[in-house]
């Protein structure tokens, strides 16, 4: 059902349309008309099915401009859900200025919430404990309350909020509409329904726990800190025309977008902090193909309707199993095949993904990242196939004369020219491939620690004169590369530069990861160490970092424990 068919105010339709929504979800199309009628409602629906709009939109539509005070109260189990619901309701009411939603929750300043309530909040969204505090202080009055909404009621009961909920309901006028949403219907929920609702309409929306068969689902297990490299490798290897990458936070969306764009990918981010104009521009660019990688949070991706997404990448595991279904459902549409790739690190994420697999009742197959050599060979085959096709079509026959001139003037053969052009084209196609030699977390790199394994030295363009200490350098290496501290060997700090021993197998990854990094506030460069006369440059002042390795009892020179927060001595 379209939102335009739900008899909603034009201001709400306008806001919803600009948010990218045109068609209501099942819970929305069934719940909104019931709430608009003023009837009590029980909605059985999981997270991710659009419940906030299902109760938020009719709550706005039912507000009476001439009535002062709070008319709708929404209870949520957590502050995050309360904040999210409040933000969504504000968006739905963007063109109705007298609608004033307010979120109240613990862990935030009470004074600021009191000010918002006094300014005329007419929809309050909050956690049970903080709502009770405001009722007790009489900063939240319920005299004019007309609609009471319990969102994720079963979760609130699981968290021990039953007494709080019943206390709050005791303050609410009996002549009210009571709406309850819950993923499950255990006996305590039914008891609340029986005691506090009158002849409620029951709406059940069954979640789709099976994913589309046309979607290929794989996961790749990589070491901590290497997810971005793995994503780059997959994007280069599979070359999806349009792809979506999901992250859990706005910060991660921004950071990943910057990382991909800096490497030449046509990517853009999408999250809740973006203004509507920017959001619209990004979506239009994605739909037109001028950018082919969209990096988004789950909330920001709602309402995006694009049928030609070739692949979905889960950079972060979804925070709710239901979200996984919504994410991968972006591909494999309109009868086309699609792919969903999940990147995980560590045992915890492995078990979380296994739970998702059980939830969706489908296998998510383990796969190995393609190697750099495999990608280069694949690209080369593609280039050669295109050359053959173009030769057969006669597309470039006009250049025979130029080739003949090159041969005559430079004593070259046709094979020389063809080899150079082929090499140039393949080099261009493969220049962006990260040099990462892993297909899964490598136990060997954790055991190396610079002892018994082949190592090389790298040179960092800062030393004692920049007030560096070994722990500063090691911390920067670990943070940038994602490698454990014991992978690194001896750190030697000189006046103007520093050398560090690293596993030879990880040299390229470390060089790439550390480029542009700041250590102790100073931007550094890093390169292979080619040897210097250290004693000549630094003879009297050289301070050796020694075999500085990261473990619980790391000590600096002289047996003193290194203090990451201490200022290095000069």
The pLDDT-based confidence of 469 (bands split at 50, 70, 90) is confident
Q: How confident is the model at residue 548 (pLDDT cuts 50, 70, 90)?
A: very low
- Rounded to two decimals, what is the model's pTM? 0.47
| Same-domain status, 360 and 378 | no
3-state secondary structure of 483: coil
Match 């630094």 to its residue by tokens: 538
For residues 266 and 260, what is the distance between their CA atoms, to the nearest angstrom? 8
Q: How confident is the model at residue 556 (pLDDT cuts 50, 70, 90)?
A: very low
Which residue is listed with tokens 């499950």? 184
- Let me know if residue 435 belongs to a domain: no
CA distances from 500 to 182, 510, 556 (A): 56, 11, 16
Same domain, 180 and 277: no
**Per-residue pLDDT reduced to its tens digit, 473-494:** 887 887 777 677 788 889 998 8
Which two tokens mark 224? 């901590």
Contacts 24+ apart (CB under 8 A), 284-292: 286/242, 289/241, 289/242, 290/266, 291/266, 291/267, 292/240, 292/241, 292/242, 292/243, 292/266, 292/267
> Is residue 378 one of the residues assigned to a domain?
yes
Residue 38 in any domain: the answer is yes
Q: Are 97 and 120 in contact (CB under 8 A)?
A: no
Interval 181-239: pLDDT, tens: 987 788 888 888 899 999 999 998 865 544 556 789 999 998 877 899 999 989 988 88
Q: State residue 444's pLDDT score.
A: 40
Which secondary structure element, helix H or strand E, spans residue 496, and what is its range? none
Inside any domain, residue 565: no
192 within some domain: yes
The arrangement of strands across the sheet holding 177-182 comes to 101-104, 123-126, 72-75, 147-150, 177-182, 41-44, 201-204
> What are the DSSP calls for 159-226, one per residue?
TT-HHHHHHHHHHS-SSSEEEEEES---HHHHHHHHHH-SSPEEEE-----S--TTEEEEEEE--TT-
pLDDT over 90 (residue 94): yes
64 with 159, same domain?
Answer: yes
320-324, 360-364, 406-410: segment of lowest average pLDDT: 320-324
> Would you call 499 helix, strand, or coil by DSSP?
strand
Q: Are residues 244 and 98 located together in one domain of the fold?
A: no
Say if residue 151 is in the same domain as residue 281: no
Could you tell me the two tokens for 18?
Answer: 């600009």
**CA pair distance 274, 266, nearest whole angstrom:** 19
Q: What is the pLDDT of residue 67?
A: 92
Looking at residue 536, what is its pLDDT?
46
CA atoms within 13 A on the CB side of 129: 13
Contact 15, 93 (CB under 8 A): yes
Specify whether 350 is located in the same domain as 383: no
Instruction: Write down the pLDDT at residue 203.
Output: 92
Q: Which of 314, 339, 366 represents a domain boundary (last residue)?
A: 366
The CATH number of whichever domain residue 475 belongs to comes to: 3.30.70.330
Closest among 71, 66, 3, 6 to 33, alpha carbons compared: 6
Domain limit, last residue, from 329, 346, 366:
366
Q: Are residues 329 and 412 in the same domain?
A: no
For the four alpha carbons of 403, 408, 414 and 418, in that order, the dihedral sign comes to negative
Chosen domain end from 137, 170, 204: 204
The answer to whether residue 332 is domain-embedded is yes
Cβ pair 206, 49 in contact under 8 A: no
pLDDT at 335: 67
pLDDT band, residue 48 (cuts 50/70/90): low
Instruction: Domain count for the chain, please give it.
Output: 4
Q: How far is CA 282 from CA 241, 242, 289, in A?
A: 16, 13, 10
Report helix, strand or coil for 134: helix
Domain match, 13 and 158 both = yes
Task: Compute the distance between CA of residue 348 and CA of residue 322 in angstroms, rounded to an integer.
Answer: 19
List of residues 6+ apart from 167 with CB closer than 8 A: 132
Residues 329 and 248 occupy one common structural domain: yes
| Tokens read off for 389 | 């096709």
Cα separation of the two ends of the chain: 71
User: What is d(CA 229, CA 214) in angstroms, rounded to the nearest whole number?
Assistant: 27
Quick one: pLDDT band at residue 515, thresholds 50, 70, 90?
A: confident
What three-state secondary structure class fits 31? helix
Burial class (CB in 10 A: 0-12, 13-18, 19+), 187: exposed
Answer whether residue 353 is part of any domain. yes
The pLDDT of residue 90 is above 70: yes
> Which residue is it, tokens 């085959």?
381
Residue 244 and residue 317 in one domain: yes
Beta strand 543-544 with 491-493 is antiparallel
CATH number at residue 259: 3.40.50.300
* 422 and 449 part of one domain: no
Neighbouring C-alpha atoms within 13 Å toward the C-beta of 387: 13
The answer to the question of residue 392 being in a domain is yes
Q: What is the DSSP letter of 569?
A: P
Domain carrying residue 334:
215-366
Distance CA 87, CA 277 (A): 17
Q: Name residues whose C-beta falls within 8 Å of residue 164's C-beta, 6 or more positions apart in sequence.
A: 128, 129, 131, 132
Kindly state whether residues 356 and 390 are assigned to the same domain. Answer: no
Closest residue by Cα to residue 267 from 432, 45, 85: 432
Contact assessment for residue 162 and residue 155, using Cβ atoms and an 8 Å cutoff? no
Distances (CA, A) of 262 to 157, 259, 506: 47, 5, 22
Please name the residues in contact with 442: beta carbons below 8 A apart, sequence gap of 6 or more.
Answer: 223
Lowest mean pLDDT among 137-146, 337-346, 367-376: 367-376
The Cα 327–Cα 309 span in angstroms is 11
Distance between CA 495 and CA 378 in Å, rounded?
Answer: 47
Quote the tokens at residue 280: 């619209």
């Amino acid at each position: 059902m379209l939102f335009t068919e739900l008899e909603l105010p034009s201001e709400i339709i306008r806001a919803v349309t600009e948010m990218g929504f045109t068609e209501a979800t099942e819970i929305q199309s069934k719940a909104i008309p019931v709430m608009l009628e003023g009837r009590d409602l029980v909605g059985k629906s999981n997270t991710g099915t659009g419940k906030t709009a299902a109760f938020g939109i009719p709550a706005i539509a039912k507000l009476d401009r001439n009535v002062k005070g709070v008319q709708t109260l929404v209870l949520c189990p957590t502050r995050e859900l309360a904040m999210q619901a409040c933000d969504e309701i504000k968006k739905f009411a963007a063109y109705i200025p007298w609608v004033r939603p307010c979120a109240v929750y613990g862990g935030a300043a009470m004074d600021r919430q009191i000010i918002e309530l006094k300014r005329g909040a007419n929809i309050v969204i909050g956690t049970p404990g903080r709502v009770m505090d405001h009722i007790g202080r009489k900063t939240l009055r319920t005299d004019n309350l007309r609609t009471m909404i319990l969102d994720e009621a079963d979760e609130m009961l699981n968290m021990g909020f039953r007494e709080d909920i019943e206390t709050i309901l005791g303050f609410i006028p009996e002549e009210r509409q009571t709406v309850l949403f819950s993923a499950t219907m255990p006996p305590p929920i039914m008891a609340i329904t029986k005691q506090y609702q009158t002849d409620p309409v029951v709406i059940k929306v069954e979640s789709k726990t099976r994913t589309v068969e046309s979607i290929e689902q794989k996961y790749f297990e990589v070491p901590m800190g290497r997810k971005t490299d793995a994503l780059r490798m997959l994007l280069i290897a599979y070359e999806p025309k349009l792809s979506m990458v999901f992250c859990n936070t706005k910060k991660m969306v921004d950071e990943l977008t910057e990382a991909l764009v800096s490497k030449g990918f046509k990517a853009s981010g999408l999250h809740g902090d973006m203004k509507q104009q920017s959001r619209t521009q990004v979506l239009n660019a994605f739909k037109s193909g001028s950018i082919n990688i969209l990096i988004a949070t789950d909330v920001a991706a709602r309402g995006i309707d694009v049928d030609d997404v070739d692949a979905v990448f889960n950079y972060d595991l979804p925070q709710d199993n239901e979200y996984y279904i919504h994410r991968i459902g972006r591909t494999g549409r309109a009868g086309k095949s699609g792919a969903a790739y999940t990147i995980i690190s560590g045992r915890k994420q492995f078990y979380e993904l296994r739970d998702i697999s059980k939830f969706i009742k489908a296998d998510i197959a383990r796969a190995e990242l393609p190697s750099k050599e495999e990608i280069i060979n694949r690209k080369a085959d593609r280039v050669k196939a295109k050359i053959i096709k173009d030769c057969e079509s006669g597309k470039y026959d006009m250049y025979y004369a130029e080739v003949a001139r090159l041969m005559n003037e430079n004593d070259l053969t046709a094979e020389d020219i063809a080899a150079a052009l082929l090499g140039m084209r393949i080099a261009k196609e493969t220049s962006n491939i990260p040099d990462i030699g892993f297909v899964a977390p490598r136990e060997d790199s954790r055991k190396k620690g610079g002892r018994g394994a082949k190592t090389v030295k790298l040179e960092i363009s800062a030393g004692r004169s920049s007030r560096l200490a070994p722990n500063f350098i090691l911390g920067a290496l670990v943070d940038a590369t994602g490698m454990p501290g014991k992978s690194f060997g001896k750190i030697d700090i000189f006046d103007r530069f520093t050398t560090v021993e690293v596993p030879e197998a990880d040299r390229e990854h470390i060089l790439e990861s550390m480029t542009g990094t700041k250590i102790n506030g100073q931007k550094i460069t890093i390169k292979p160490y080619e040897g210097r006369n250290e004693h000549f440059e630094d003879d009297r002042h050289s301070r050796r970092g020694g075999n500085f390795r990261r473990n619980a009892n790391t000590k600096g020179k002289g047996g003193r424990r290194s203090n990451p927060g201490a200022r290095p001595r000069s």
